[in-house]
Every structure is written in structure tokens, then in C-alpha cells.
Amino acid sequence: MSISKTSLAVLLGAAVTLSACTDPAQLGTQTDPKQNTKQGAIVGGILGAGIGAITGSSAKSAVFGAAAGAFAGGAVGAYLDKQAADLRQELSNDGITITNTGDRLIVSVPNDITFDTDSYSVRPALQSDLDKVAQNLLKYPESSVQIIGHTDSDGAAEYNQGLSERRANAVADVVQAGGVPYNRISTIGRGEDDPIASNLNDAGKAQNRRVEIVVIPTNT
């Protein structure tokens, strides 16, 4: 029995919807330490079924694809669960948050504790925590790392773009100095274009001013 394109689209849509159901605000206090392992297995199974259907055009292929996808997704989830748990124990600054989305870790470092106003020199007090991030990345080497700078909307957009790039590069320099190879790291400046809160009040602006260290598994 073949699987139609419509059915495949439903499968893939379900995977995307499920992967988006993780609430970042609750991840740091989740009661099930294997939540993301389970989610990764489910999402991997759905995607595997779709891939099996494409390659084999049969229900049997879909079953085999689902099994392979669930295994791979579960492996990624378990890898990230363990890395996130280790990192939470190692970091001393409560302002740094770690979000496990099931397929990547997002370590968010607020600019207000990392840089002086309009500066891109990392404060000495944060150097040790960034070094701990670097040591964690060395302990879990099967990943690539994106370091992304963000600002609020105050000031000129062009200036904010440049500042976000300089701050991302400054954090990358500290992580590289901790021993993480250059070829694992890429830096991105997003300026004011990717807010996570309102720019209409001070609390929201403070959340938007951040550098994110995004850890994406490659081989597990």
C-alpha cells in the first residue's frame, strides 16, 4: 500500500507541530528529565515514517523508516538531555538560561550581565561562565555551535546590527579561547530583528538584549 503525498504532508506537519510544543519557559524546571529524549524519538519516528514512504513507497518501508527515525531522534534527545543537565550544574550565574528544544540547546546570555552599555568587551565576571560553556562543548564534541547576537530596538537599526555582530564575535572569542575549535563555531548578528519580548517596556528590552549560544548535534 503506497502512502500519498497528502498523507506524507500530514506526517511531516505533525512532526513540526510536535517539535514546537516544547515550552522554553518550563524547560529549566521540567519534571521528566527524559522529556526531550521522548520527544526526539516521537518526532524522529514521524519523520522516519515519511522518509520510508518516500524511499520505499510501501507501508513496510514506512514502518522501517519510523523505527530508524525514532532511534535517531531518541539518541539526539538523550544526548541533549545529558549535556543540558551537566551545563546547568556547571554554570554559576542564574541569569544564564538553557533551553532544550529537543533538537538543540539554546544557552541565552543576557547582554546586561555580559557587556557594559554600548560595549562589546565581555565583563571579567562572565569570563568564567563562558569558559565553563566551552569546557562543556569540549566534553560533548558532536555538535556545531552558532553564536547569535541580539539587541533591543533602541537607536538606529544599522548601529544595532553592527553591535550584535561585535558582541557575538566577542563571546565566540572567549569560547574559542577555552579550546573549542574555530571550525565548530559560526557567528551571526541579528540586531533588533528577532525579539523574544516587547520592545515597548524596559523589562522586554532587557530580554531582547542577549547573545545566544546554539548547540546543534551533528553525529550522536
One-character DSSP codes across 33-58: TTHHHHHHHHHHHHHHHHHHHHHH-S
Cell for 203?
523589562
Check residue 120 and give its pLDDT. Answer: 96
CA of residue 60 relative to chain centroid, distance = 34
Instruction: Specify burial of residue 98 (Cβ count, 10 A radius: 0-12, 13-18, 19+).
Output: buried
Domains and CATH numbers, the chain: 92-217 (3.30.1330.60)
Cell for 212?
545566544
Residue type, 72: A
pTM: 0.70
- How distant, in Å, are the alpha carbons of 39, 95, 188, 215 from that of 194? 26, 20, 12, 18
**Closest-CA residue to 146 (of 106, 113, 206):** 106
What does each of the 220 residues of the chain score in pLDDT, given as a tens digit?
A: 444 545 445 444 555 455 545 444 444 444 455 555 555 555 555 545 555 555 555 555 444 444 444 445 567 888 999 999 999 999 989 999 999 999 999 999 999 999 999 999 999 999 999 999 999 999 999 999 999 999 999 999 999 999 999 999 999 999 999 999 999 999 999 999 999 999 999 999 999 999 999 999 997 5
Provide φ and ψ at 14, rounded to 5°. -65, -40
Check residue 177 and give its pLDDT. Answer: 97
- How distant, in Å, are the alpha carbons of 30, 58, 77, 100, 104 from that of 37? 13, 28, 4, 10, 12
Distance CA 189, CA 149 (A): 5
> Which secondary structure element, helix H or strand E, spans residue 186, and what is its range?
strand 185-189
Distance CA 80, CA 35 (A): 11
